[in-house]
Amino acid sequence: VGLHQPKRRVRAPAITRHALLQAAYATIHRLGFQAASVDDIVEESGVTKGAVYHHFADKAALGYAVVHEVVRVMMLDGWLGPLDEPGRDPLTALQGALRQRAERHTAVEIKLGCPLNNLTQEMSTLDEVMRGAIETTLAAWSRGFALALERGQAAGTVRRDVDARKIATFLVAAIEGSYGIAKGARSRALLRSNFETLAAYLEGLRPGSRRGPGLPARGH
Amino acid sequence: VGLHQPKRRVRAPAITRHALLQAAYATIHRLGFQAASVDDIVEESGVTKGAVYHHFADKAALGYAVVHEVVRVMMLDGWLGPLDEPGRDPLTALQGALRQRAERHTAVEIKLGCPLNNLTQEMSTLDEVMRGAIETTLAAWSRGFALALERGQAAGTVRRDVDARKIATFLVAAIEGSYGIAKGARSRALLRSNFETLAAYLEGLRPGSRRGPGLPARGH
Amino acid sequence: VGLHQPKRRVRAPAITRHALLQAAYATIHRLGFQAASVDDIVEESGVTKGAVYHHFADKAALGYAVVHEVVRVMMLDGWLGPLDEPGRDPLTALQGALRQRAERHTAVEIKLGCPLNNLTQEMSTLDEVMRGAIETTLAAWSRGFALALERGQAAGTVRRDVDARKIATFLVAAIEGSYGIAKGARSRALLRSNFETLAAYLEGLRPGSRRGPGLPARGH
Amino acid sequence: VGLHQPKRRVRAPAITRHALLQAAYATIHRLGFQAASVDDIVEESGVTKGAVYHHFADKAALGYAVVHEVVRVMMLDGWLGPLDEPGRDPLTALQGALRQRAERHTAVEIKLGCPLNNLTQEMSTLDEVMRGAIETTLAAWSRGFALALERGQAAGTVRRDVDARKIATFLVAAIEGSYGIAKGARSRALLRSNFETLAAYLEGLRPGSRRGPGLPARGH
DNA sequence: ACATACGGGACGGCCCGTTAGT
DNA sequence: ACTAACGGGCCGTCCCGTATGT
């Protein structure tokens, strides 16, 4: 009785910090930023509160770091990564990504929604710094799409009479909106349907396309 | 001594309830559901906390009522109302609504985002009942779009080879996504751009359309 | 088991507030403002934390109220009250008060020191509002002494060639200093000695006094 | 990766200890003992927390050392030093010191008060060991005054019919009280006024003094 | 139908001290 | 001798809900 051995004491700041970021990311994704208490994150990460406030000035700073170091990387890797594969035109790559996404997500992921979108709606009016971090991520994402489309235009795989940047921001909005609606309806079918519609829309961006930007064919 | 007269005593339950709903809506729109404390709402409404818990079981119940009685009505009136005007085909009506929206919103409204979208992302994983209220609203909205498109198809103003319901849900997602992105970037220009892209997309749904569902023309 | 009846619920705001002020005064006197935790005060008063933050905005506001409503009244009643007795010249009254004070204080009171002096030294650099409350009290105290001395000068019981206000502030300083030193040395003898010296000093303020403001005679 | 050079490594224990004491003194003077966190002192001193707990057992021990090695020396040097000058009688020396003090202090020093007095009121009920350190300092100070007065009595420059020790403790109390009141009122004028009154009082201690222990003359 | 006093329970954020490491 | 990661605990604040009273 009374023998509760002291904690691990491993002295590995980088690992501790990383564990903290991951736990914070997961908890915030699950509960939202405000509902995720520091104690929740502490429990999830296995480190102590003292460590949290050693590595981060306050809960907000932890949140910023999560956006910059976890969410941003995750989003850009996930959506811009597929566009970098050589030998594939951007439209095909994007369509492939959309198709994969809807299926690959677990049920809970669909239920939890896109972490970036969640944070945007919850926090961007409450914390200007976090909004900045979010905006930076959104801008990088959109710019990645725009650059890919412009490369496609230069290579002749994307119609040249469209505004690549405008389409890029629309894509981001439509993707986030789809995640958002699917979260609200808790429905993978909805996410899939919207991603299909978006893929069809992309089809219309190909140079030869007659009827133009695709429309979802009748009868599912 | 001890003489400090109490607040107004106006025994008007309906008025009190209405004031409460409006104040709750405004405060939740401004701060989010969790950050909006009951005391905030009390202050905004001018009534007292006793009145709140007389009319509503708890803060959650107040939130549900806000979704059902304020947000839902506001959304459906705003987006489905224009479709009911006689003599206008649904596509033109929708394009008109999109054009108006981007301009009519005040700067703070753009900053605050769409209340329904905010609530969806913030709350639908935290409160299943509220998610239900949200889903109901989203479904009604989407169904309104679908019905209008189908009427258009029957009337010959909308192409018949497209899935009206699928397009309807896509429209809802794209609209909400656009509000969300614009909120994150705090940019009316972004909202306008996306709504223009969406309007162009709708253009492609007209029967005679050559190039198909419109694309944003080059050069701003 | 598990039957712990709810608290009293007496609904007597004035009494609650008074209990809070008294408990806060006592706890702050005992521990100092910073070391007196709100929980200490809650425990001492018997009310709950919710009640504290209903009656006072924060801990600081409670502290201000203690200064204004407890400490100030206590100091002014204690030191200026004796000067109001009719038929006694101010010097005699003051000398009497000094004599009584040193003896009447309990050992713990001497150990705890003068609450006003404690707060002055602990808090007046940390909280400007509290310093204001303290300064107000000190000024009222000093002014009370000055007015009494001036009345004495008018009545012929106090020498007219001295600056009453200057002497008044000196008396306040000497009294507070004596409490402070006695607290540091935890010695009633020291408090008594200094009050005697001060009483002798006052003797020299009488009109006829030859050798002038008294000095402590040799040989205790 | 992971390359971020540690702080200066200067292996100079005596210097480190001295820097720590000075920083602790300054920080405690500024904020009080309790409000001065170890991290504050660490930042002010430029050393690290490890160094603090290498040189001192805990925060309290650092505080004791500050009293013994900084505050005590400073007080005794400042007030007893002037009395050691050869060829000056103690009363004149003390009057000179009083005159100088009020003027020489910077505005912030007056605002911060006498460190010994601050510590006395804040800490002597909370920490018995620190109270001991304080009492020792006060006793030495008082004894220094008493010895000087007794030397004056032997030399014929101070009246022999007064109790030197009693006057000495009174002087200490009046000085500390004056600092305390001036701090509370944030007023140099008040400190000056009291020191003048005290100087006049000392005048009455001279052997030939007619009117006796001086009183502040009328008119400013 | 409403007003206000109040109960109780978290939560964010220090803050002191320890210890693995150099 | 000194650094910095970390442990654990407490404190002020706020917040939701209840209950008494009008």
Q: In this predicted structure, what is the pLDDT of residue B68?
A: 98
CA–chain centroid gap for B165, Å, is: 19
Among residues of chain B, what percentage have pLDDT more than 70? 90
D19 touches strand E (CB under 7 A): no
Token pair for residue A151? 């490369």
Q: What is the mean pLDDT of chain B?
A: 92
Q: Return the ∠ at Cα C145 (arms to C143 and C150), rounded to 5°.
A: 90
- Determine whether the distance from the CB of D186 to the nearest atom of strand F is below 7 Å: no
Supply the DSSP symbol for C69. I
D218 with C122: Cβ contact below 8 A: no
Closest CA to C123 of D120, D24, D183, D44: D183
Residue A220, pLDDT > 70, answer no
pLDDT confidence of residue D210: 55
Chains D/B: 3 or more C-beta pairs closer than 8 A?
Answer: no
**Predicted local distance difference test score (pLDDT) of residue D219:** 46
Cα separation of the two ends of chain C: 65
Protein residue at shortest CA distance from C1' of E17? D58
If you ran DSSP here, which 8-state letter would residue C68 be given? I
pLDDT digits (tens, 9 = 90+) for C13-23: 999 999 999 99
Tokens 């007794």 belong to: D150
Return the residue matching tokens 């200064």.
Answer: C67
d(CA D149, CA D166): 11
Q: Which of C113, C166, C169 sits opposite D121 (nearest CB)?
A: C113
Residue C219 has pLDDT above 60, yes or no: no
What pLDDT does A103 receive?
A: 92
Could you tell me the pTM of the whole model?
0.90
What does the pLDDT read at residue A2?
Answer: 40
**Residue of chain A minimizing CA distance to B29:** A125
Window 42-61 of chain A: CB closer than 7 A to strand E = 49-50, 53, 58-60
Q: What is the pLDDT of residue A86?
A: 84
Shortest distance between the Cα of A118 and any Cα of chain B, in A, equals: 5
B122/A32 touch (CB, cutoff 8 Å), yes or no: yes
Structure token pair of residue A200: 């069809």
Rounded Cα distance between B57 and B139, Å, is 26
Alpha helices in B47-127 (DSSP H): 49-55, 59-65, 72-80, 90-104, 107-112, 115-123
Contact flag B118-A118 (C-beta cutoff 8 Å): no
Give the orientation angle of helix B115-123 with respect to helix A115-123, to 10 degrees. 120
Q: What is the pLDDT of residues A99-127, one digit of tens each?
A: 999 999 999 999 999 999 999 999 999 99
pLDDT of residue C52: 97
Q: How many residues does chain B have?
A: 220
A5 touches strand E (CB under 7 A): no
**Subunit contact C197:D124, Cβ cutoff 8 A:** no
pLDDT for the residue A85: 86
Task: Give the per-residue pLDDT at B12.
Answer: 84
In chain D, which residues have their Cβ closer than 8 Å to the Cβ of C160?
218
Q: Which residue is nearest to nucleotide F11 (CA to C1')?
A: C37
**B122 and A124: CB-CB below 8 Å?**
no
SS3 A157: coil
Indicate which of C27, C106, C197 best probes the interface with D, i.e. most D CBs within 10 Å of its own CB: C197
The answer to whether some atom of strand F lies closer than 7 Å to the beta carbon of D121 is no
Sign for the CA dihedral angle at C105, C106, C110, C112 comes to negative
pLDDT of residue C2: 41
What integer pLDDT is reported at residue A7 of this predicted model?
Answer: 54
Summarize the confidence of residues A189-210 as an average pLDDT: 92
Neighbouring CB atoms inside 10 A of A123's CB total 27
Buried b (16+ CB within 10 A) or exposed e, D179-204: bbbbbbbbbbebbbbbbbbbbbbbbb
pLDDT above 50: residue A219: no
Beta bridge partners of residue D73, listed in sequence order? none
What DSSP string describes D162-201? Answer: B-HHHHHHHHHHHHHHHHHHHHHHT-HHHHHHHHHHHHHH
Which amino acid residue lies closest to nucleotide F15, measuring CA to C1'? B37
**Nearest-5° Cα angle at A162, A160 to A167:** 130
Please give the single-letter amino acid code of residue A163.
Answer: D
Q: Which residues of C touch D208 (CB under 8 A)?
A: none
Contacts of D214 (CB under 8 A, 6+ apart): C212, C213, D199, D200, D201, D202, D203, D204
Residue nearest to nucleotide E10 (CA to C1'): A37
| Number of Cβ pairs < 8 A linking chain A and chain B | 218
- Across residues B152-174, what is the average pLDDT? 97
D193 is written with which tokens?
């006024």
Residue B21 has pLDDT above 90, yes or no: yes
The token pair at B59 is 């803060």
Q: How many CB atoms lie within 10 A of CB C52?
A: 23
Q: Residue D170 CB closer than 7 angstroms to strand E?
A: no
Q: Can you tell me the distance from the alpha carbon of A65 to that of A133, in angstroms, rounded to the nearest whole number?
A: 9
CA distance D36 to D62: 12
Show the beta-strand stretches assigned E in chain C. none
Report CA(C11)–C1'(F19) in Å, whole number. 10
Q: Any atom of strand E under 7 A from CB of C2? A: no
| Closest C-alpha among A154, A47, A16 to residue A90 | A154
Closest CA to B24 of B49, B46, B41: B41
Identify any residues that bridge with A112 across adjacent strands, giving them in sequence order. none
Q: Is the CB of B218 under 7 A from strand E?
A: no
Q: Is the pLDDT of residue A69 over 60?
A: yes
Residue D159 is classified by DSSP as -
- Which of D169, D154, D159 is closest to D203 using CA atoms? D159
| Nucleotide minimizing C1' to CA distance for residue C51 | E6
Cβ contact, residue pair A121, B180, below 8 Å: yes
The mean per-residue pLDDT over the stretch A161-180 comes to 98
How far D36 CA sits from the closest chain C CA (Å)?
A: 11
Q: How far is the CA of B122 from the C1' of E5 (A)?
A: 33
Nucleotides of F under 7 A from a protein CB: 1-21
Q: How far is the CA of B44 from the C1' of E7 (A)?
A: 25
Chain Cα centroid distance, residue D210: 33
List of chains touching A (3+ CB pairs within 8 A)? B
What pLDDT score was predicted for residue B13? 86
Measure the CA–CA gap between C168 and C149, rounded to whole angstroms: 8
- pLDDT at position A87 is 84
Judged by average pLDDT, the poorest of A10-14, A134-138, C86-90 is A10-14
Each residue's pLDDT, cut to its tens digit, for chain D (220 residues) gives 344 455 555 557 889 999 999 999 999 999 999 999 999 999 999 999 999 999 999 999 999 999 999 999 999 999 999 999 888 999 999 999 999 999 999 999 999 999 999 999 999 999 999 999 999 999 999 999 999 999 999 999 999 999 999 999 999 999 999 999 999 999 999 999 999 999 999 999 999 765 455 566 554 4
Subunit contact D212:C216, Cβ cutoff 8 A: no
The residue type found at D53 is: Y
Confidence (pLDDT) at D3: 42
Instruction: Report the distance from CA of residue B45 to the C1' of nucleotide E4 in Å, as an integer.
Output: 17
Interface mutation vs chain B, best among A170, A171, A198, A220, most B CBs within 10 Å: A170
Which of residues B220 and C109 earns the better pLDDT score?
Answer: C109
Residue type (1 letter), C5: Q
State percent of chain C over pLDDT 70.
90
Contacting chains of D (3 CB pairs or more, <8 Å) are C
Mean pLDDT of C107-136: 98
Q: What CA–CA distance (Å, rounded) separates A180 from B120?
A: 7
Residue C23, amino acid:
A
- How far apart (Å, rounded) are the C-alpha atoms in residues A188 and D123? 65
What is the tens place of the pLDDT at every residue in A1-43? 344 455 555 678 999 999 999 999 999 999 999 999 999 999 9
The pLDDT tens digits for C140-187 are: 999 999 999 999 999 999 999 999 999 999 999 999 999 999 999 999
- C169/C187 Cα distance (integer angstroms): 24
How many contiguous H segments (helices) and E segments (strands) does chain A have?
11, 0
pLDDT of amino acid C143: 98
Q: Which two tokens stand for residue D147?
A: 């010895």
pLDDT band at C87 (very low <50, low <70, confident <90, very high): confident
Count C/D contacts: CB-CB distance under 8 Å.
Answer: 217
B-chain CB neighbours of A120 within 8 Å are 121, 180-181, 183-184
Residue in chain C lying closest to D200 (CA): C213
CB-based contact C178 D181, cutoff 8 Å: no
User: What single DSSP character describes residue D217?
Assistant: B
Whether residue A211 has pLDDT greater than 90: no
Sequence-separated (6 or more) residues with CB below 8 Å from residue B51: B16, B20
What phi, psi does C217 have (nearest 5°)? -65, 155
Q: Looking at this protein, which amino acid is placed at residue D158?
A: V
Listed as ranges, the nucleotides of chain E within 7 A of a protein C-beta are: 1-21
Whole-angstrom Cα distance, residue B18 to residue B25?
10
